[in-house]
Amino acid sequence: MIKINENYLKLKAGYLFPEIGRRTRAYQQGHPQARIIRLGIGDVTLPLPAAVIEAFHRAVDEMSDSATFKGYGPEQGYEFLIRAIIDNDYKSRGVDLSLDEIFVSDGSKCDSGNIQEIFSVANTIAVTDPVYPVYVDTNVMAGRTGAGDERGCYEGIVYMACTPENNFMPEPPEQDVDLIYLCYPNNPTGAVAGCEALARWVAYARAHKAILLFDAAYEAFIRDPAIPHSIFEIPGAREVAIELRSFSKTAGFTGTRCAFTVIPKELQAYTAGGKAVEVNPIWHRRHCTKFNGVSYPVQAAAAATYSQAGKKQVRELVDYYMENARIIRTRLSEFGYQVYGGVDAPYIWLQTPDGMGSWEFFDKLLNEAHVIGTPGAGFGPAGEGFFRLSAFGDRDNVEAAMERIGRLV
């Protein structure tokens, strides 16, 4: 008799964004005339930059000619892309990486979900709360937790509350944890992490032989020059951190799919007997076994984001979304909402009015303003009482959504 992986039965019924989609479709069916504005999932709306499209087309043409056609590529990514990443994203910030420390992939969601499988199920994981649900759910699937409670907390996970009082950046825990998920600029709160806060995490990880999984998918939205873009800007991080980066939000690749993971050679984990093992070759082995690489045209398109024209066009995309963020922040503040984030990040995190539950506020916005956001409780118990708006909409929709929300107060 075939047995199911019962860990999946512990998961809450639906992944957050499909659940929002389900509720939205149900509402739309009952109200076909309603023009719904979606500021829920952080999905980009502007097309790919021109330099990216040109490179994409060129690469597709190369695939039509036997002289330039490409079959399987290197699983960890083509050298032309990895070199461009190292030179532009890291060298420019004083971080030296070698070619084999970067693994190109089809998304940070996949990488952040897959990475846990190279670590023992006996590890204790710690997450900031509220949190990108993928970090938690993939550990539940792997059997690293017990059951979930009614607030959505799973037994065995250490939840570190992110609140306005700690500027949405918790202190490292008192207890021993092994794998720590940090995402800064943060999804969902829009908070950023300065050098000192990150240095405390690096020190913790070094002292506890733990690993930091640093998700930097939103680094391109940082405006403040004092905020680090990479965990590897923090001294000592190479021995204790993995970094995730993505072209999704930076360059409009949510539907095109390209990202990368950085695993320094110095990073070690330990056998049950305490013997140190390098993590980089283990991820390499896993990557080569389970993944055949991102398609050549997509990698060529990603590399074009680093050309002179590409950089300028990417900057324009980011500026456009950050202007949306500014508009959302400013208008909501004028309406009397307590607002966080949206300055160095494309997410605005607002306190729901009058202590309203976050799903209740979701329903209110949907029913009365036809605006979709993301209820904070969907990101974890500490998200209750908060609500996330994404700045990735188009400008007219953002303006219209603000006008509608303004009419509610």
Going by the DSSP 8-state scheme, the letter that residue 238 receives in this structure is G
Give the nearer residue to ligand MLT in terms of CB position, either 42 or 152.
42
Q: How far is the CB of 317 from ligand MLT (least distance, A)?
A: 15
Q: How far is the CB of 244 from ligand MLT (least distance, A)?
A: 11
Site string for ligand MLT, 88-127 (x = CB under 6 A): ---------------------x------------------
Q: Which contacts qualify for 4-7: CB closer than 8 Å, 24 or more apart?
A: 5/141, 5/143, 7/140, 7/141, 7/142, 7/143, 7/145
The total of other beta-carbon atoms located within 10 Å of residue 406's CB is 13
Q: Does 190 bind ligand MLT (CB under 6 A)?
A: no
What span, in angstroms and rounded, lies between the C-alpha atoms of 142 and 119?
Answer: 10
Give the nearer residue to ligand MLT in terms of CB position, either 210 or 401.
401
Site string for ligand MLT, 244-283 (x = CB under 6 A): ----------------------------------------
> Residue with CB nearest ligand MLT?
42
Give the nearer residue to ligand MLT in terms of CB position, either 90 or 218.
218
Residue 274 half-sphere exposure, CB side, CA atoms within 13 Å?
Answer: 1
Which residue, among 145, 148, 175, has the nearest Cα to 157 in the 3D structure? 145
Give the nearer residue to ligand MLT in terms of CB position, either 280 or 305.
305
Q: How far is the CB of 302 from ligand MLT (least distance, A)?
A: 16
* Torsion angles phi and psi, residue 241, rounded to 5: -135, 150
Q: Does 41 bind ligand MLT (CB under 6 A)?
A: yes
What span, in angstroms and rounded, lies between the C-alpha atoms of 39 and 151?
Answer: 24
- Mark 111-135 as b/e (b = at least 16 C-beta within 10 Å): bbbbbbeebeeebbbbbbbbbbbbb
Q: How far is the CB of 188 from ligand MLT (least distance, A)?
A: 6
Which of 23, 42, 344, 401 forms a contact with ligand MLT (CB under 6 A)?
42
Please tell me the count of residues contacting ligand MLT according to CB under 6 A: 6
Interacting stretch for ligand MLT, rule CB under 6 A, among 37-45, 232-240, 288-296, 298-306?
37-45
Give the nearer residue to ligand MLT in terms of CB position, either 107 or 170.
107
What span, in angstroms and rounded, lies between the C-alpha atoms of 97 and 238?
Answer: 10
As separate numbers, helices (DSSP H) first and strands (DSSP E) second, the chain gives: 12, 15
Q: Does 187 bind ligand MLT (CB under 6 A)?
A: yes
What span, in angstroms and rounded, lies between the C-alpha atoms of 148 and 215?
Answer: 24
Sites of contact with ligand MLT (CB under 6 A): 41-43, 109, 132, 187
